[in-house]
Structure 1
């Protein structure tokens, strides 16, 4: 008698170098920055520029990674693994849950090979990006489809597009903000304090060409503002992690916190709704670099608000998102 397995879920995040060293960062950056979804410049033009970047940037990036590397290694890897473990426990007996990274170790092809070899034929792929972008969600799908081009056997396949307006996701972000305010006091918005929602940026040209990311990020911000009951002006929507000389979505988070500090704003609270796991972009860029920028510009109080990771309200929301997208298979 042939044993029939249930569906398998594959959670996918961006990726991380194996160690906070230039030697480990270099191949990771090479793979990431060679993706035509990430840098749309023609390879013949981009390749020599990339080689120049790879001579300098890995050492600088490694130093930043060391500032956030924990006892369990990469925070993004740790929390992605924990999310997979806890969602898997919640779906025990119904679905297997695994995780993979788009770039670096624990790759999507490796995970798909293993899942297929174990006999699973129904597969739900969940890119862990709340807002859709060709630079993130689409490149996960690309990698899954590339694997399929070479595979003799195929999955009954579903790929989650995004979850920018999912009520559980919005509630998880709001709950983290409200918990911080309960602990540290609510910002004095009447006196000029601000809540900043910082999203990863993309080049403006990509948005102009039809990438829906800025609209989905704005939708998320509007829903969070509505849930918190904040008046216009009390919450700001910004973009971080710009790269290169091209124009990116604005306003930039770091420019915003600097301007607020110069203006005499006493307090800013920053949350990053587009990052379901803490990583270099939240722990170093926001909680170190942006904090220093705000304080040096004259600000007094800076709070970075983590919201996802292994927090119960987020894991419960992710479990429901997964369960809903397994409908008909369970």
Structure 2
């Protein structure tokens, strides 16, 4: 397929250099405002394009993919997560799916540690006092948090991001534990100083911090359900920079409110922007608006991967970051 004839539709505003390069290489239709497309707009885009460039805000389920036109041959996702795309249905329709793995690893791991520090050191409470102008001075017992060194960190999902979190936590003197579908090679475990737990129940019951770093799949939905959250120590903290669906948000909110958990740092939510209102007013909870990968460098690198995937496809080859159902 010639790149000169390739029609590309982008569903959201992307960094200006990425948009400019897309327009140079392909017949590109850009999004004029930074709002998610409606399902009607998405359907129209999928009927007119050779390549669709969606983001996590675009739900491409079986019904939506079923409306795709005969021209659509590639969904080049801007982002690593592809739980919003029915990859199996796309494959049945002869539509390839690609993503942008790896580029958000370091940024998301940084944010995981930022949330962990913010919760354990009570930073939002301190900021609120300063912004309100009510601080009366230093006191020996004011805003006492907890030291990270020596605490047990349980990483749920030891992929690229989980391992990046482990390396950072090592530098803070934390003890690294993890649960994963597959155990790491012995030399990798040794380099991370990581202890593997085959039983998630046994791990969560013994950790001081749980960091969620696994993708959302049918098998990980509510992996931290009410029963598992109840196993955690009341002094424990939960941090989630992966996908909100992995945690039963209502159960988490109830336990935090009842002080059955010490705190939580959340960057993602079970129902997207519809955040459980119980979480908003708790002093032991830090909420961020899905900022884990939000760096200029990360977004540009994501765009470069999208461009490479489309250009490789346009040249008649398999996109380097093609996703197939067996990978999920």
TM-score by length of 2: 0.44
Which protein, 1 or 2, shows the higher relative CO under an 8 Å CA cutoff with sep ≥ 6?
1
**Larger Rg computed on CA atoms:** 2
Give me the TM-score of the superposition, normalised by structure 1. Answer: 0.44
**Structure with more helix by fraction:** 1
